[in-house]
């Protein structure tokens, strides 16, 4: 068997927050992982949609970012932004 070649194999302590809330049109279930790994950004996992993105305040300002990353409508993204501005 060939020896595995790792590009990196790091272990980090994380602070994880699980949150669920009702938006206007759907339920949102997120896991927010904060670690030193992502230069101050938060790893946001959409547990229902099976998508994730590394998000910082600058990303929330980027037009269409959440829509693209999580497959959201404009209205859904606005609800997510309202929440994420509070926690990121």
Taking the C-alpha atoms of residue 45 and residue 67, their distance in angstroms, rounded to an integer, is 14
pLDDT score recorded for residue 2: 85
> In the block, which residue shows the tokens 């595995």?
4
Report the pLDDT value the prediction gives residue 60, as an integer from 0 to 100.
96
Average pLDDT for 72-77:
95
Residue 1 pLDDT? 76
- To the nearest whole percent, how much of the chain has pLDDT over 90? 91
pLDDT tens digits for range 35-61: 999 999 999 999 999 999 999 999 999
pLDDT confidence of residue 54 = 97
Could you tell me if 62 and 81 are in contact, meaning their C-beta atoms sit under 8 angstroms apart?
A: no
Other beta carbons within 10 angstroms of residue 29's beta carbon come to: 14
């Amino acid at each position: 068997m060939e020896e595995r070649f790792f590009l990196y194999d790091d272990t980090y302590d994380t602070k994880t927050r699980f949150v669920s809330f009702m938006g206007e049109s759907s339920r949102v279930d997120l896991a927010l992982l904060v670690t030193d790994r992502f230069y101050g950004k938060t790893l946001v996992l959409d547990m229902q949609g099976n998508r994730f993105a590394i998000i910082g305040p600058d990303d929330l300002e980027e037009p269409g970012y959440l829509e693209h990353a999580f497959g959201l409508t404009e209205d859904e993204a606005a609800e997510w932004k309202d929440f994420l501005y509070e926690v990121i």
